[in-house]
């Protein structure tokens, strides 16, 4: 079963196409990053998935159930959208206890979620004294009250300082380790890429990429830097690598095999076959951030090129 599917999911506000015919299939388990610049339609997509607003056209399912049905799936989903409203003068524990009561959930869940988000010890302090990071963790705790299979968090790292971001990221990873599917949106890929298994990249409502992070990384350009043990072997190494069809450039101590990220083992074998031992064999990949920039581009020309590349990759 997929955690989420969408089929030509579209939402317009007047002339603005906030989400434009997005079709994705997101597997269960792991952390799913929903990434795109501000205004690209992430919140609109999340709101449709949570049944908060209706699609203009298209369909979507959550945990196998249509979002436009009776909403039964919502009992299995936890969500953090916008800033959750907590009573500032009440403690974290009291806020969670009243939420659990209103939602008819057992009081024992309060201790469980405080433990998961690491607020035990601070849970009797009034929420107004909490840092932004602690408030975000409390928001996630509230979303976890129903012990959901699927957790949807809209920009939980927004506004946090670097250590707060690291904490939230670790928490997302831990939640996924427990077997939940965690969907997290961010306008900054760098804030969440380290913890994501699957990425959905959108820009101006249009889907640019949906798939495993590993597949996106595999599309990245990169090179392999190679240094032979004996400098005297360098000309033979260059000849061998060129003979094997590689593009080779000199570096200070060895050679760079251009566009060969992922071919390090081949290069090692090719060198060994002619009796050359390598002391260095280093793959340098384009960062995920760079791949993402390639996809999103900064002007329409770049976006068009990225789309063409994506279409090519999808064939």
Ligand X SMILES: Nc1ncnc2c1ncn2[C@@H]1O[C@H](COP(=O)(O)OP(=O)(O)OP(=O)(O)O)[C@@H](O)[C@H]1O
Contact residues toward ligand X (CB under 6 A) are 13, 16, 18, 36, 38-44, 187
In the complex, what is the shortest distance from the CB of residue 190 to ligand X, in angstroms, rounded to a whole number?
A: 15
Residues 296 and 289: beta-carbon distance below 8 Å: no
* Spatial distance between the Cα atoms of 38 and 142, rounded to a whole number of angstroms: 25
| CA 125 to chain centroid | 33
| CA 122 to chain centroid | 29
DSSP of 20-69, one letter per residue?
Answer: EEEEEEEESSEEEEEE--TTSSHHHHHHHHTTSS--SEEEEEETTEETTS
In the complex, what is the shortest distance from the CB of residue 86 to ligand X, in angstroms, rounded to a whole number?
A: 21
Nearer to ligand X, 42 or 137 (CB): 42
What lies within 8 Å, CB to CB, of 158 at 6+ separation is 186, 187
Residues 37 and 14: beta-carbon distance below 8 Å: no
In the complex, what is the shortest distance from the CB of residue 9 to ligand X, in angstroms, rounded to a whole number?
A: 12
In the complex, what is the shortest distance from the CB of residue 281 to ligand X, in angstroms, rounded to a whole number?
A: 41
Nearer to ligand X, 143 or 278 (CB): 143
Nearer to ligand X, 204 or 225 (CB): 204
In the complex, what is the shortest distance from the CB of residue 133 to ligand X, in angstroms, rounded to a whole number?
A: 19
Nearer to ligand X, 143 or 241 (CB): 143
Residues 92 and 140: beta-carbon distance below 8 Å: no
Nearer to ligand X, 35 or 175 (CB): 35
The values of phi and psi at residue 277, to 5°, are: -95, 135
């Amino acid at each position: 079963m997929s955690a989420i599917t969408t089929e030509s999911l579209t939402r317009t506000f007047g002339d603005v196409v906030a989400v434009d015919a997005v079709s994705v299939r997101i597997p269960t388990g792991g952390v799913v990053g929903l990434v795109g610049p501000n205004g690209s339609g992430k919140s609109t997509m999340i709101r449709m998935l949570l049944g908060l607003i209706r699609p203009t056209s298209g369909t979507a399912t959550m945990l196998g159930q249509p979002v436009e049905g009776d909403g039964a799936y919502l009992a299995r989903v936890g969500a953090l959208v916008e800033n959750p409203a907590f009573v500032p003068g009440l403690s974290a524990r009291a806020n969670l206890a009243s939420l659990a009561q209103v939602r008819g959930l057992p009081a024992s869940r309060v201790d469980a979620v405080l433990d998961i988000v690491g607020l035990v010890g601070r849970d009797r302090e009034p929420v107004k004294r909490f840092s932004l990071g602690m408030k975000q963790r409390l928001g996630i705790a509230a979303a976890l009250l129903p012990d959901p299979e699927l957790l949807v968090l809209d920009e939980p790292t927004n506004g946090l300082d670097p250590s707060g971001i690291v904490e939230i990221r670790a928490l997302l990873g831990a939640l996924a380790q427990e077997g939940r599917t965690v969907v997290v949106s961010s306008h900054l890929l760098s804030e969440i890429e380290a913890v994501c298994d699957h990425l959905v990249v959108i820009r101006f409502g249009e889907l640019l990429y949906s798939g495993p992070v590993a597949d996106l990384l595999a599309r990245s350009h990169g090179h392999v830097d190679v240094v032979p043990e004996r400098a005297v072997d360098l000309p033979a190494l260059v000849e061998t690598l060129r003979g094997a069809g590689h593009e080779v450039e000199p570096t200070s101590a060895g050679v760079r095999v251009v566009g060969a990220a992922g071919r390090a083992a081949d290069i090692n074998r090719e060198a060994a076959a002619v009796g050359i031992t390598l002391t260095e064999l280093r793959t340098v990949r384009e960062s995920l951030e760079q791949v993402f920039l390639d996809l999103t581009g900064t002007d329409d020309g770049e976006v068009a090129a990225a789309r063409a590349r994506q279409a090519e990759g999808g064939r």
